[in-house]
């Protein structure tokens, strides 16, 4: 296997040689709150990356990946962020669906979907949250009924999903649906792969505070998918869905932190230009933000402890249940609390530094600091709110009494 430093040099050189010409204009574009930016062009860039073998780095070689270690992937995301390369459009496929199919899917499912994910020819979205099942995902009400033969029939899906990122760009959705009538909570759920280009699916973009739309409502009305496109056993969808969530927070967070460092550096420059850096309280908050970023990085490196965290199937003993699974869930929750609250606070600091100028538009568009402030309000909500993360830590790590929940 190539050494980490040799791979880092390979990535750095490739980015320097390829992030030029038409792709140079994409630098810094995309990411949370900015997914609308140059999406078709970023899709072309993502496919260019794939053709160079720079996607799906941690996937096993037999599934089309490069079988690289966590350290190699950390190096990739650090160099990618330092080059200010555009945010990739295939995160959900590459980092969530692909690893889930490798861990839980059938050979036929892997052969059907993994090549298209790797080559970025099919995009995915996540069908988890519903109007009554957001933070408490076990309240899923979307139904799925098997019609016909278990091998050659169809699943008929009815219900609504909400806050579905990038559904208006995706071709497929992985949907958590209740397949056993009368079941409650975690029981009776199935994890289905559903094509979106069909008459039974309606996608309605949600206009955000920023004026953009990267989240959607998705309505299923007698939508169909093949009977064999259930991942895992019917009724065992909760286990598969939790496996997917284990893949959600991985090494890409270190690249995210480099982008955060760039935002902080930009704020320091802004404070210097407008004189607000002379305010001792502003200097203190900037210093605390820098210290918080170092803490975030140290924690990420300390908990990215071994290969098994990245490569072990969540279906393996101890990986999704029991003490080991609880500790890992707690680590992910602490990580989410650290970066989400840090980034929200940075958005608030940006508005303080801008002063009254942050209250008005300069033209028809929000500037980068106004957009940061508005979208970072969501950081402590999506992906599990602060309250949910603290409950996980309290109940699963500290062993405190569980919160009372409905049956």
Q: Are 230 and 190 in contact (CB under 8 A)?
A: yes
The terminus-to-terminus CA distance of the chain in angstroms comes to: 51
Q: For the beta carbon of residue 63, count every other beta carbon within 10 angstroms.
A: 18
Q: Which of 151, 248, 263, 307 is catalytic?
A: 248
Please give the Cα distance from 194 to 172 (Å, whole number).
6
Q: How many helices (H) and strands (E) does the chain have?
A: 13, 8
Structure tokens at 299: 């924690």
Nearby residues of 357 by Cβ (< 8 Å), 6 or more positions away: none
The residue count for the chain: 407
Please give the Cα distance from 77 to 82 (Å, whole number).
8
Q: Is 348 labeled as catalytic in the residue annotation?
A: no
Please give the Cα distance from 113 to 121 (Å, whole number).
10
CA angle (149 as vertex; 99, 114 as ends), nearest 5: 20
Please give the Cα distance from 247 to 339 (Å, whole number).
17
Q: Are 263 and 296 in contact (CB under 8 A)?
A: no
Q: Are 225 and 177 in contact (CB under 8 A)?
A: no
Q: Helices marked H in 31-166 — which ranges?
A: 39-51, 70-82, 91, 98-104, 107-119
Structure tokens at 291: 């210290």
Among 208, 122, 131, smallest CA distance to 173 is for 122
Residue pointed to by tokens 């210093």: 287
160 bridge partner residues: 219
CA angle (209 as vertex; 207, 213 as ends), nearest 5: 30
254 bridge partner residues: none
Active-site residue set: 248
């Amino acid at each position: 296997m190539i050494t980490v430093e040799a791979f880092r040099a390979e990535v750095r050189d490739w980015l320097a040689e390829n992030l030029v010409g038409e792709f140079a204009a994409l630098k810094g574009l995309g990411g949370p709150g900015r997914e609308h930016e140059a999406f078709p062009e970023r899709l072309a860039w993502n496919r260019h990356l794939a053709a160079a073998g720079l996607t799906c780095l941690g996937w096993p070689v037999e599934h089309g990946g490069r079988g690289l270690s966590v350290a190699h992937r950390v190096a990739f995301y650090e160099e990618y962020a330092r080059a200010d390369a555009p945010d990739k459009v295939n995160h959900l496929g590459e980092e969530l669906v692909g690893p889930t199919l490798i861990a839980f899917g059938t050979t036929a499912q892997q052969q059907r979907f993994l090549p298209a994910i790797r080559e970025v020819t099919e995009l995915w979205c996540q069908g988890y949250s519903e109007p009554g099942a957001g933070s408490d995902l076990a309240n899923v009400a979307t139904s799925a009924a098997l019609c016909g033969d278990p091998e050659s029939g169809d699943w008929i899906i009815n219900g609504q999903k909400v806050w579905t990122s990038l559904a208006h760009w995706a071709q497929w959705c992985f949907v958590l649906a209740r397949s056993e009538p009368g079941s409650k909570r975690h029981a009776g759920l199935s994890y289905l792969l559903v094509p979106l280009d069909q008459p039974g699916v309606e996608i309605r973009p949600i206009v955000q505070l920023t004026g953009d739309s990267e989240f959607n409502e998705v309505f299923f009305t007698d939508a169909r998918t093949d009977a064999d496109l259930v991942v895992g056993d019917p009724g065992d969808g909760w286990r598969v869905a939790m496996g997917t969530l284990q893949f959600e927070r991985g090494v890409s967070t270190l690249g995210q932190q480099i982008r955060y460092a760039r935002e902080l550096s930009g704020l320091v420059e802004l404070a210097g230009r407008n004189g607000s850096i002379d305010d001792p309280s502003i200097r203190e908050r900037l210093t605390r933000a820098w210290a918080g970023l170092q803490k975030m990085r140290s924690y990420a490196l300390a908990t990215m402890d071994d290969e098994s965290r990245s490569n072990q199937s969540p279906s393996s003993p101890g990986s999704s249940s029991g003490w080991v699974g609880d500790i890992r869930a707690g680590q992910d929750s602490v990580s989410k609390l650290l970066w989400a609250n840090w980034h929200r606070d940075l958005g608030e600091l940006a508005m303080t530094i801008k002063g009254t100028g942050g209250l008005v538009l300069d033209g028809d568009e929000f500037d980068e600091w106004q957009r940061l402030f508005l979208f970072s309000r969501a950081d402590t909500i999506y992906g599990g709110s602060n309250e949910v993360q603290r409950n996980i830590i309290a109940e699963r790590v500290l062993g405190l009494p569980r919160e009372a929940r409905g049956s």
